[in-house]
Amino acid sequence: AQSVTQLDSQVPVFEEAPVELRCNYSSSVSVYLFWYVQYPNQGLQLLLKYLSGSTLVESINGFEAEFNKSQTSFHLRKPSVHISDTAEYFCAVSEIGYSTLTFGKGTMLLVSP
């Protein structure tokens, strides 16, 4: 069975500082990996995804994530955060061939001036 662990429930950071949100997954087969972002009282929006090919994937707003098969990780990074990046971030995994996503418990990114 697939599972996702986001070790940090909250990550405080100053504006323009770099940030890394950690995600580890558990699965015995090949997987798809996703990062979603949720702003207050809104649904989740897809930020980026890894399906196959290049292990480094990027979003349009400067986030990137790297798939590391040996460490079963898919950490999310941004070199310089903005106040507007304050939101909750969810990592999700789907085993290829399955019809559902399994989500981590989320990491709240708090960016302060």
What residues make contact with other proteins under the rule CB under 8 A? 9, 32, 34, 36, 41-46, 49, 51, 90, 92, 94, 96-106
Reading phi first (left if > 0) and then psi (alpha if -120 to 50, else beta), residue 57 is in beta
6 versus 19: smaller Cβ distance to other proteins: 6
- CB of residue 15 to other proteins, shortest distance in Å: 26
Q: 84 in helix, strand or coil? A: helix
- CB of residue 2 to other proteins, shortest distance in Å: 11
- CB of residue 13 to other proteins, shortest distance in Å: 20
- CB of residue 5 to other proteins, shortest distance in Å: 11
Residue 83 phi/psi, 5-degree rounding, is -55, -40
15 versus 110: smaller Cβ distance to other proteins: 110
Q: Do 4 and 31 touch, CB atoms closer than 8 A?
A: no
104 versus 109: smaller Cβ distance to other proteins: 104
Residue 59 phi/psi, 5-degree rounding, is -105, 170
49 versus 77: smaller Cβ distance to other proteins: 49
Q: 71 in helix, strand or coil? A: coil
To which residue do tokens 């100053």 refer? 14
